[in-house]
Structure formats: C-alpha cells, structure tokens
C-alpha cells in the first residue's frame, strides 16, 4: 500500500504541472481563436503575436509615440484605471524594455550570523542626506506576486552574477527551480 501511495504521489508530481501547462496553453489558444473568430486552430496566437509586434513597432516612431501619449493622458483621467494601468506598465517595464529594474540581483545580509535575503537593487542612491549611504532593494515573495521594498546600508548589499528573469524565478519558486540562477554564488 505504501508503494502504491508513493507511486501515486510521484505520478501526481510529474503529471500535474504538465497537465496544467497544457490546459493553460490550450485555453489561451482556443480563447484567442474564438475571440478573433478564426477557424484554423492556433491562428489566433499568430495573429495576436503579429499584432503585438506591429503595435511595438508603431510606438517606436513619432506618430506612434504621440498616439500612445494621447491614450495614456486619457487613462490618467480615470482614477481606478490609472492606478491599475500605471502598476501594470511599471511591472512589465521592470522586466522588459529599455528601463529594466529587475536586472541587478543582490544578496542582502540581514544579521551578524550571515543570514541573507535575495532581491533586486532598484535605487543606488537617494537625494535625502539621511539616506546617503543606503540603497533600495526589492524583495519578491515566494509563490506570490508581492514583495517588500527595503532601504539598507550599501555595505550590506552584495551583487550577484545572475540573469534577472532566472533569478526572479528562483526566488518566486521558493528556491526549488534550477540553482543556475545563483550559480556563481553557490560555486564560490
């Protein structure tokens, strides 16, 4: 009975992530196909990818930039929508684009026993003289889309040689993803 239970649990651990991933992809593809009213399976994803690319290209020129600023000015007038839009824009901008913020992984020493927390350096200096020797670090939470921002003395922050997206995945997964996200720290 113990072997059957262990085998069932092992099968569930293997099958659940695969099944959920397949379901999410299937749901997204079929929903896009329905929304765009296309009969060829998967064509909705292709059309959406082309549309996103065209919009990205258009917003890179003068006319597109003007249209985008006009749209954002309209969004800024609606209180709840403004908050949601700005939060989403800043979140996506932190990972992609020219003003990435989550590209400086760090370890912050939080006590004299060597205990460290992992996060991202977001501000390397402050104009306030009381914070002259401090930096800000964003600490994402595991299994959550939240986090904390801390202000800490510079000497307690050690940069890590890791790629931002992999490092974020390592933190958000609670450290169960591949350790390659923190390879140099572990190897040294």
CA–CA gap between residue 27 and residue 36 (Å, rounded): 14
For residue 109, what are the β-bridge partners? 116
- Matching residue, tokens 């020129």: 61
Residue 153 pLDDT: 93
Q: With b meaning 16 or more CB within 10 Å and e meaning fewer, what string describes 109-130?
A: beeeeeeeebbbbbeeeeeeee
Query: In a 3-state reduction of DSSP, which class is residue 105?
Result: strand
Q: What is the pLDDT along the chain (188 residues), one digit of tens a residue?
A: 888 888 888 888 888 878 888 898 888 888 888 888 888 888 888 888 898 888 888 888 888 888 888 988 998 898 888 888 887 787 777 666 666 667 789 999 988 888 999 999 988 889 999 998 999 998 988 887 788 889 999 999 999 988 887 888 888 888 887 756 444 544 54
By DSSP bridging, strand 147-153 and strand 134-140 are: antiparallel
26 close to 42: Cβ distance less than 8 angstroms? no
Residue 170 pLDDT: 85
**Alpha carbon distances (Å) from 164 to 12, 23, 63, 141:** 30, 28, 32, 15
Residue 68 pLDDT: 85
CA–CA gap between residue 17 and residue 96 (Å, rounded): 26
CA–CA gap between residue 1 and residue 5 (Å, rounded): 6
Query: If you compute the radius of gyration of the chain from its CA atoms, what whole number of angstroms results?
Result: 22
Q: Which of 167, 172, 120, 122 is nearest to 143 (CA)?
A: 172
Q: Which of 151, 155, 178 is nearest to 166 (CA)?
A: 178
For residue 108, what are the β-bridge partners? 117, 157
């Amino acid at each position: 009975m113990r072997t059957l239970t262990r085998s069932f649990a092992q099968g569930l651990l293997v099958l659940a992530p695969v099944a959920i991933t397949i379901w999410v992809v299937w749901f997204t593809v079929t929903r896009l196909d329905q929304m765009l009213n296309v009969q060829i399976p998967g064509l909705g994803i292709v059309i959406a990818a082309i549309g996103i690319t065209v919009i990205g290209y258009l917003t890179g020129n003068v006319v597109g930039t003007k249209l985008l600023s006009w749209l954002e000015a309209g969004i800024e007038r609606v209180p709840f929508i403004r908050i949601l839009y700005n939060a989403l824009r800043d979140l996506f901008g932190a990972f992609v684009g020219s003003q990435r913020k989550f590209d400086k992984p760090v370890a912050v020493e939080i006590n004299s026993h060597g205990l460290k927390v992992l996060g991202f350096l977001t501000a390397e200096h402050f104009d306030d003289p009381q914070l002259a020797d401090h930096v800000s670090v964003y600490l994402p939470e595991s299994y959550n889309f939240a986090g904390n921002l801390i202000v800490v003395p510079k000497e307690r922050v050690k940069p890590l040689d890791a790629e931002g997206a992999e490092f974020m995945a390592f933190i958000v997964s609670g450290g169960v993803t591949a350790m390659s996200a923190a390879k140099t720290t572990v190897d040294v």
